[in-house]
Structure 1
């Protein structure tokens, strides 16, 4: 039988009403939408606080670990740059969680002794580090003992970094041990490399407080001056240091930090990428992560 359009309308309304009732009946046995969303929401993770000094390797490693924690482990990360003394004090006071650039056994020995029992050493993240006095490779001296003979050409100056750095304390000791007639001038890591860049470009003599790993050795032809008195010590290692209690409070973060290790090639490429990126280290480290995915995967603790 053919139904007119007018007669069809009540039937359609009745059908729609039936669907709505049926739909409403199905919802009765479900939890309210708000409760479902709340139950499904993961627990909020605490902020991880990383501190670092404005040294090339520390900047690069800190931003890399920040990206791993944020992108791969779901943490929020707060980074703070400071001089060495405040960095160690913040770990000892529990105001920061981790510092990735502890040089041992020589450079940061005094800080480790001062804060003994208040700072935890999670082990090395880079082997074969060293500090000393660095000059252009074509400067015709090979030893710290020969610096006085170049003092006028060097403007009686050793270009240093931030005054609280361990290498600055060691260099003051070297000046006394070798009887150097040069003054150590504090600056910063970036200021030191800027002075080095200018000197190399103009082919003028310069001596700086230097350390390896650092991208400057890949960019310019440089050399460490020999240290026959052993003031700067032998090769060192870079250690990951944390506040007391981090392993208990955030075991997966501590596990990542224990697993985090780089060799010379890996750290060199990371530092070069960050240096070339200038003011965008976050972008540089994430691109590096993509290119070194298997390495990064190996750091992340398994659930």
Structure 2
């Protein structure tokens, strides 16, 4: 009986040891799995690279979301200003992470056709982007077709922005479509608005390439000329990113999907940045706007 009892105890001890070993293996496997999960969900870098064009709405939307990302989610943001062609190329090559000011599906169609398969679309920040030829309201023209009648008064020119902008290409198309006796003069967004303001102050005729949303429509009495041939399309102003961004930064991807502004909100922000002047830091203006619109900002944050 003693011998049988001794064998029973030994067997129980062996079974307990086996169970302990299995438990250790399971705990180790669970720990490894958790570590792998944490590693897979961790961002590839704490710095997010955002590129944007030198356009009023791009400046405003980009500096605003920079403040949100840094102050609410704890990332660093590196900003680069460039023309759209350069930005799309860099996104497709992985040199930049995000662009906030993609006019799609029409104005930037040539860029999307070329690079779209290597990009991710996070949806619109603003859903009704209008482009076209713009004049002060005191001018007696209402359609693009009317411009040839005042070509001499306009010195034969349309004041444009950068040659890489979709509106620049569409304006050259409009010149051909309407057989305009005008030439588009390339400049930049700020140079175009400066020329517009100077002409308005002198109550002189001028036609510029313009778009909504833009602070100039809240500051000046303007009209977008009718476009019966449909040269200038309606677009959404979207966030696009490099391929793989959502996988690398799922929380930021959700933020960009949620990011949305009405025309009134965007104009208010653009006005604040414009009125602060070139000596002010747009980051500071954007953060002040964030503080005044905390419930809206909170609605964008990922759960």
Residue of structure 2 in register with 1:257 after alignment? 256
1:237 is aligned to: 236
1:72-95 CA distances to partner (integer Å, 9 max, x unpaired)?
A: 111111000001100100110011
| Cα-Cα RMSD | 1.3
* Structure 2 Cα separation of the partners of residues 101 and 261 of structure 1: 12
Rounded Cα–Cα distance in structure 1 between residues aligned with 2:171 and 2:235 = 16
Query: Equivalent residues in 2 for 1:98-109 (5 A)?
Result: 98-109=98-109
Give the TM-score of the pair, scaled to structure 2: 0.84
Shift of 1:116: 2.5
What SS does the aligned partner of 2:78 have?
A: strand
Equivalent position of 1:68 in the other structure: 68
Question: 1:240 and 1:44 mapped to 2: Cα distance?
Answer: 20
Name 2:154's counterpart in structure 1. 154
Shift of residue 236, structure 1, vs aligned partner: 1.7
Q: State the Cα distance separating 1:127 from its structure 2 match.
A: 1.3
Where does 1:80-159 land on structure 2 (aligned, <5 Å)? 80-159=80-159
Q: Distance in 2 between matches of 1:174 and 1:104?
A: 19
Cross-structure match for 1:214: 214
* Preserved CA contact (<8 Å) 2:52 2:58: yes
Cα offset, 1:144, TM superposition: 0.4
Contact 1:126 1:239 in 2 (8 A): yes
Return the alpha-carbon distance in structure 2 between the equivalents of residues 301 and 108 of structure 1: 29
Superposed displacement of residue 128, structure 1: 1.4
Deviation at 1:44, TM superposition (A): 9.6
Equivalent pair of 1:101/1:240 in contact (CA under 8 Å): yes
Whole-angstrom distance in 2 between the partners of 1:295 and 1:278: 25
Runs of 4+ that moved beyond 3 A: 42-45
Whether the aligned pair in 1 keeps the contact of 2:43 and 2:248 (CA below 8 Å) is: no
Per-residue displacement from partner, 1:35-91 (whole Å, max 9, x unpaired)? xxxxxxx99952100000000000000000111111111111100000110010011
Alpha-carbon deviation of 1:177? 0.4
Structure 1: which 5+ runs fail to align?
Answer: 1-41
For structure 2, the 5+ residue unaligned runs are 1-41
Deviation of 1:140 (Å): 0.3
Residues 109-130 of structure 1: CA deviation (Å, up to 9, x unaligned): 1110011311111111101110
